[in-house]
Amino acid sequence: MYKNYVFDVYGTLVDIHTNEYELATWQKLAKTLAFYDVNYTAEELKEAYFMSCDLQMKQGEKKFRHPEVDVVEVFRHIFENKNKKASKVLATHLAQEFRAFSTERLTLYNGVTETLGKLKRAKKKLFILSNAQRCFTRPELVKLGLAKYFAGVVYSSDYGCAKPDPALFNVLADKYKLDKKETVYIGNDPLTDVNGAKNAKIDCLWIKTNLTDYDQLPKLSPKYEINNGDFTQIAQLLLKK
């Protein structure tokens, strides 16, 4: 019987749509930066952002097969390009403004809170392991009423590596002293979630949602599948195990 239930966030618990390529997003952000005497056109700012992301990824490849960026550091770099300095607090604030400007949809899937509550009442320990930015996801979990359900969270941005890298799964297991045999991972992505969990030797439930890439198939087979996106089936299926 599983004692530990580990969830992905976006595409699994949360239905989201962001548009980081929309010019209006960068126009709004450029106006914000101008208050700090950091002056970019919208096009320049967009280019600087993605160039900084690419640089972090290349640096991260020296250590991890699947590196991750930290957007707080990206915004500090955007200031440095203009010979300015941004504190971590300021860079975090600006990253969160960028998130707000670029987010078009952010909502829970049906049945999420019902299922999490049922698992908690069954004395299961719930965790999050997600390819996510701490500065984005932490407040979004609070806003959506999810934070109270989880005993621990691991964000990829904190460790410089991302799923499907087994190293990130091992971070969670080591940090919270989880027995992998008593743990199940639940996610919607065939590559980062299914292949990642299986390579880390953790059982996986693959829930297919509107954000699942149906053109991709996992190289490794999940132990469980929910093909219709019905989140309530998670408790029905796994509490029997």
Write out pLDDT tens, residues 169-192.
999 999 999 999 999 999 999 999
Give the mean model confidence (pLDDT) for residues 34-58: 98
The predicted pLDDT at position 121 comes to: 97
CA dist 107 and 65 (Å) reads 31
* pLDDT tens per residue, range 186-199: 999 999 999 999 99
Kindly provide the b/e burial profile for residues 110-135, where b requires at least 16 CB atoms within 10 angstroms of the residue's own CB.
Answer: ebbbebbebbbeeebbbbbbbbbbbb
pLDDT in tens, 205-215: 999 999 999 99
* pTM for the whole structure: 0.96
> 238 pLDDT exceeds 70?
yes
When pLDDT is cut at 50, 70 and 90, the band that residue 59 belongs to is very high
Whether the Cβ atoms of residue 7 and residue 202 lie closer than 8 Å to each other: no
Evaluate if residue 114 carries a pLDDT over 70: yes
Please state the rounded mean pLDDT for residues 9-38.
97
What pLDDT score does 241 carry?
60
The pLDDT value recorded for residue 64 is: 95
